[in-house]
């Protein structure tokens, strides 16, 4: 059973914004799906315009895709459903060069990050005097500079 606040959010005026918040399991996905269905079925969204639906987890995105596909024929023409991370990844792949990020960047996992930190640490160890190790802040700052200006932009030393 759906409550009045959910119905209100689904049919909220399209020229306005609505913010939906609720604990897990209280119908946020339902409201998003029904809102998308409403916008498409009323021909408010006309191709080539599309709806972008963002969520925090892959499982939520998959669930939304499954529900939309069962209710809207050819829904992929009208709506893109993905996580915030996927959206950010796609934006940086396409437009990263506009903010000085190499579009061929790599996303690293924790193991790789640890290896890069160790490699950087070893480079510092062999190329600086021993008094450098007392300056933890400087080390972190230099590492972060290297990571942000070299590694993320694909300019490896």
User: What are the mean pLDDT values of the chain's consecutive 10-residue runs (157 residues total)?
Assistant: 87 89 87 91 86 90 90 84 94 93 83 77 62 60 74 64
> Distance between CA 40 and CA 43 in Å, rounded?
5
Size of the chain in residues: 157
- What CATH code is assigned to 4-99? 3.40.50.300
CA 65 to chain centre: 17
**Dihedral (CA of 63, 68, 71, 74) sign:** negative
Q: Where in the chain is the domain with CATH 3.40.50.300?
A: 4-99
**Dihedral (CA of 46, 47, 49, 52) sign:** positive
pTM for the whole structure: 0.64
56 close to 84: Cβ distance less than 8 angstroms = yes
In this prediction, residue 38 carries a pLDDT of 92
In this prediction, residue 18 carries a pLDDT of 85
In this prediction, residue 107 carries a pLDDT of 83
Q: Kindly report the number of other CB atoms within 10 A of residue 24's CB atom.
A: 6
Tokens of 131: 């008094």
> What dihedral do alpha carbons 20, 21, 24, 25 form, nearest 10°?
-40
> Distance between CA 9 and CA 28 in Å, rounded?
10
Cis peptide before 18 (omega within 30 of 0): no
27 close to 6: Cβ distance less than 8 angstroms = yes
In this prediction, residue 23 carries a pLDDT of 87
In this prediction, residue 52 carries a pLDDT of 93
């Amino acid at each position: 059973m759906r409550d009045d606040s959910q119905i209100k959010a689904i049919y909220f005026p399209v020229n306005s914004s609505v913010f939906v918040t609720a604990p897990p399991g209280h119908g946020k996905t339902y409201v998003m799906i029904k809102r998308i269905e409403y916008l498409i079925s009323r021909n408010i969204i006309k191709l080539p315009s599309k709806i972008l639906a963002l969520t925090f987890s892959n499982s939520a995105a998959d669930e939304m895709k499954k529900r939309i596909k069962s209710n809207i024929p050819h829904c992929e023409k009208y709506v893109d459903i993905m996580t915030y991370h996927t959206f950010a990844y796609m934006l940086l792949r396409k437009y990263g060069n506009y903010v000085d990020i190499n579009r061929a960047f790599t996303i690293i996992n924790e193991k790789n990050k640890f290896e890069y930190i160790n490699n950087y640490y070893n480079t510092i160890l062999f190329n600086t005097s021993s008094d450098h190790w007392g300056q933890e802040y400087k080390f972190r700052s230099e590492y972060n500079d290297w990571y942000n200006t070299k590694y993320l932009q694909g300019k490896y030393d």
